[in-house]
Structure 1
Amino acid sequence: MRIDIWSDVVCPWCSIGKRRLEQALADFPHRDQVEVVYHSFMLDPGAPTEPTGTAQEMLARKYGLTLADAAEKQSAVIAVAAELGMDWHQHHDSPHVGTFDAHRLLHLALAEGGPVQQATLKDALLQAYFGEARNVADHDVLREVAAGVGLDAARVDEVLASDAYAADVAADIAKARAYGATGVPFFVVDEKYGVSGAQPAELFAQLLERAWAESRPHLETVPAAADAEVCGPDGCAI
């Protein structure tokens, strides 16, 4: 079974939704047969690579809030993250920056290390942004984070210095639009079921069970005569 997830590395609900899905997968008896692949989605394609302010300030401007109100909303999200074991105490200082290059590196991780390597880099980027308030558009930061999870630093530099995987990022965004996704996180299970938002772990668990059951043939055994002959491991009774 495959789960495709569209998300951004500066999206708090994407990180929270990821953790809730992981909780559901931890209790799913077939979790070893589930592949999870992450896809690109940029909440603010026009965001700068050099910080011009914090995400909190951007939130206030975008929604017409005071800085105090924006801080209160951030605090509420930080509290939800804490319930899931994530320490985002520095998130109030997270910079408002673009994520295009971070997404390109996530594609590099998938191409060279598979879904597990990609998920590891995803976690590291989310921690860098929400837990450490780092600039995930800065190439030095991206190189450090990527190399820290096992990607070759020279290869990372090659990608960052080029337009490698730009087409993959664009294709992901186009696919999200084709699915009708206007926000993230957006989850697609076996290209059959789509669900938007950081759903509770219980809902993810129900979705996993349903998708698994429907992806496997179901055989209904009908009553048979008690004296019907069969052969077994010990041979045939004749």
Structure 2
Amino acid sequence: MKVEIYSDIACPWCYVGKRRFERALAAYPGADSVEVVYRPYQLAPDAPTEAEPLEPVLRRKFGDRITEMNARLAEVGRQEGIAFDFASAQSVNTLLGHRLLHLAETEYGAAVQARLKNALLHDYFVDGGNVGDRDRLTRLAAAAGMDEERVAAYLASDEGAAEVREQIAEAQLMGVTAVPTFVFEGRWAVQGAQEASTFLQVLEQVAAQTAAPGGAAEGAGDDACADGSCTV
């Protein structure tokens, strides 16, 4: 079974969803036969390449409700072992990170890509790191098991940029408007950071009903990082 997870590094619910899906996968008897690939999506493709504090950016977009949103996310994060630090987080364009994840998948495999994805999310939301900084990305990639020289040369070029943008465009054509979106076998789409029990049920259903009609990804219909997903 193949599961493609469309997510953005700058999406807190994507971090929560990753944790919950991994717990479901650990409980799924057929986990060894499941291939998990992280696909790119950008909530703010026009975000600047220079980092700036995240909270003012969110406040400009969502207004005062961001305080309640962040408090709710902080509590959800604690339940999942994630120490969200929105006060330290930095907003920056995530294209470089997505290019690096593409390199990880194509040249190092799913396990390395998953480690790198976790490192990027943790750096963004817990460590207050600038995931648009090439040197920092290179260090994170090396720690995840990638060749440091290859990564540095890759990030200094435009390699992978066209492929990442194409994958994002394909996701939009599929109807993905919110992340995380989990696509099972290219046919069934589950949106949002569902509970681990829900993901486990989906894994079991997809395994048992691979001939069933496919579903379509649908947007959340709300311009906010709330209710389990972040929308554009």
1:87 aligns with 2:83: yes
1:21 aligns with 2:57: no
Match 1:76 to one of 72, 78, 82: 72
- Where does residue 5 of structure 1 map in the other structure? 5
| In structure 2, C-alpha distance between the alignment counterparts of 1:37 and 1:82, rounded to whole Å | 26
1:155 aligns with 2:150: yes
Q: What is the letter of the counterpart of residue 31 of structure 1?
A: A
Q: What is the letter of the counterpart of residue 79 of structure 2?
A: E
Q: How does 1:28-177 map to 2 (within 5 A)?
A: 28-52=28-52, 54-65=53-64, 69-88=65-84, 90-177=85-172
| In structure 1, C-alpha distance between the alignment counterparts of 2:120 and 2:16, rounded to whole Å | 14
Fraction of identical pairs, as percent: 44
Cα distance per residue 1:109-128 (max 9 Å; x no partner): 11111111100100111111
Q: Which protein is bigger by CA-based radius of gyration?
A: 1
| In structure 2, C-alpha distance between the alignment counterparts of 1:19 and 1:82, rounded to whole Å | 12
* Aligned residues of 1:94 and 1:129 also touching (Cα < 8 A): yes
Match 2:194 to one of 199, 209, 231: 199
- Secondary structure class of the residue paired with 1:134: coil
Q: What is the letter of the counterpart of residue 38 of structure 1?
A: Y
| In structure 1, C-alpha distance between the alignment counterparts of 2:155 and 2:144, rounded to whole Å | 17
Cα distance per residue 1:58-115 (max 9 Å; x no partner): 11101222xxx53342122021011011222x33210111100000000111111111
| In structure 1, C-alpha distance between the alignment counterparts of 2:167 and 2:153, rounded to whole Å | 22
| In structure 2, C-alpha distance between the alignment counterparts of 1:84 and 1:16, rounded to whole Å | 7
Q: What is the letter of the counterpart of residue 28 of structure 2?
A: F
> Which TM-score applies when normalising by structure 1?
0.85
Unmatched tracts of structure 2, length 5 or more: 212-232
Runs of 4+ that moved beyond 3 A? none
Give the C-alpha shift of residue 201 in structure 1: 1.3
* Aligned residues of 1:91 and 1:132 also touching (Cα < 8 A): no
* Aligned residues of 1:56 and 1:71 also touching (Cα < 8 A): no
- Secondary structure class of the residue paired with 1:92: coil
